[in-house]
Amino acid sequence: MDNISVISDYAKKNNVKFGIVVFVSLTFFSYTIIRLIYYIYGILEFLLGYFTYVDYQFLIGAIGGVIYTTKYRKEEQSITKINIIVVVIGGLISALSTTLVDAILYINTVTVEFFFYSFLARSIYGLVIGCIVAMIIGARFMYKEFKEEEKKEKKEERYDDAFFEDLIDK
């Protein structure tokens, strides 16, 4: 059990690295599972055709990675900056990993140019979907922090009134 807490503490200290790992892992495993089902059971083509071009998998990965990174961020880290780092790096690695899954499954049937264009399109999808998710989740966390600071200021204002200062002086 001690090893788990050490890993957990390390992951919280290096939240950006582990946010990228969460992003890539969720995207890769969800895509691989859907793609293998699609490859093995071709009869589900009409249902799985909507899920095989990585849109939903990027969405799942981006949400998981950005939430993890933002939730465990340090005070000195900017929400926008760390979310952009996670989205750009995680999106590119996810695009590469999902393209490699297709390269392994369809190595004999398609050309190298297809995989290049597939990687390019997936990179663009990953960046666009990731940036949208990063903006929405980042705005949510910023609003939450703003509200907490407002409450803290109101609480401090109650005790900084001139009335209380006169009582302390007397």
User: pLDDT tens across 91-133, in order?
Assistant: 999 999 988 888 887 788 778 888 888 889 889 988 998 899 9
Question: What is the per-residue pLDDT across 37-71, written as a single tens digit (0 to 9) for each?
Answer: 777 776 555 555 555 567 888 899 999 999 999 88
CB count in 10 Å sphere of residue 5: 9
pTM above 0.95, yes or no: no
Q: How many domains does the chain divide into?
A: 1
Q: List the domain range (segments joined by +) for residue 105.
A: 2-169
Residue 30, token pair as written in the block: 């969800």
* N-to-C CA span, the chain: 57
Max Cα distance, the chain (Å): 90
Cα–Cα distance, 67 to 133 (Å, whole number)? 9
In the chain, where does DSSP find H-type helix?
Answer: 2-13, 15-40, 45-48, 55-71, 79-105, 112-159, 162-169
